């Protein structure tokens, strides 16, 4: 256990201490607000990423179904879907997966 000995201080010193404390509390409040804003952006990015992934998966399924039913896919379409899937993987790899 620590013992803190306080010396008497002037009114001017107390006012400076209180002013610094108020600034510190305001700074913490500003940081909390900024963190809430960033959290909202991260949530938005997550939602948008999930939607993009769902679209890519749907496109890949449509191409697979088309090919399975004897249809043809142009090389340009296949390349475009492959490029999109690769980019989705790059974005997905930026954020580690959550352990189950």
Q: Domains in the chain: how many in total?
A: 1
* Structural domain contains residue 52: yes
Identify the domain containing residue 52 by its residue range: 46-95
In this prediction the pTM is 0.55
Of 65, 59, 55, 51, nearest in space to 79 by CA: 59
Of the candidates 60, 62, 58, the one whose C-alpha atom is nearest the C-alpha of residue 71 is 62
The tokens 């006012």 sit on which residue?
A: 15
Eight-class DSSP state of 95: S
- Whether 87 maps to a domain, the answer reads yes
Q: Is 20 part of any domain?
A: no
Instruction: Judge whether 79 lies within some domain.
Output: yes
pLDDT tens over the chain, length 100 residues: 676 667 778 888 888 888 888 888 878 888 889 999 999 998 998 888 888 888 888 988 988 888 888 888 888 988 988 898 898 888 888 878 878 7
């Amino acid at each position: 256990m620590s013992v803190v000995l306080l010396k008497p201080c002037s009114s001017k010193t107390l006012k400076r201490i209180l002013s610094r404390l108020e600034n510190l509390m305001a700074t913490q409040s500003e940081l909390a607000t900024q963190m809430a804003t960033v959290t909202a952006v991260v949530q938005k990015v997550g939602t948008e990423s999930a939607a993009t992934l769902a679209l890519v998966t749907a496109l890949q399924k449509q191409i697979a179904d088309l090919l399975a039913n004897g249809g043809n896919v142009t090389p340009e379409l296949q390349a475009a879907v492959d490029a999109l899937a690769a980019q989705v993987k790059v974005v997905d790899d930026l954020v580690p997966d959550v352990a189950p």
